[in-house]
Amino acid sequence: MCLDLYGQVYVETDMRAYMNPTRMEVIRMATEKLVRKAQSLCPSCQLPGFDVVALQEGLPCSLCHTPTHSILYLVKGCTHCGHFQYDYFPKQQQTAGPETCPRCNP
Ligand SMILES: [Zn+2]
Ligand SMILES: [Zn+2]
Could you tell me the distance, in angstroms and rounded to a whole number, from the CA of residue 47 to the centre of ligand 1?
A: 6
- Given a cut of 90, whether residue 6 has pLDDT beyond it is no
Residue 52 confidence (pLDDT): 85
Could you tell me the distance, in angstroms and rounded to a whole number, from the CA of residue 47 to the centre of ligand 2?
A: 41
Residues with CB in 5 Å of ion ligand 2:
61, 63-64, 66, 98, 101, 103-104
- Given a cut of 70, whether residue 104 has pLDDT beyond it is yes
- Given a cut of 90, whether residue 23 has pLDDT beyond it is no
Residue 40 confidence (pLDDT): 81
Prediction pTM value: 0.53
CA distances from 18 to 50, 64, 66, 68, 90 (A): 28, 19, 14, 10, 25
State the pLDDT confidence band at 70, using cuts at 50, 70 and 90: confident
Could you tell me the distance, in angstroms and rounded to a whole number, from the CA of residue 94 to the centre of ligand 2?
A: 14
- CA–CA dist 85, 77 (Å, integer): 7
Identify which ligand lies nearest to the alpha carbon of 67.
2
Please, is 104 exposed, middle or buried when counting C-beta atoms within 10 Å of its C-beta (0-12, 13-18, 19+)? middle
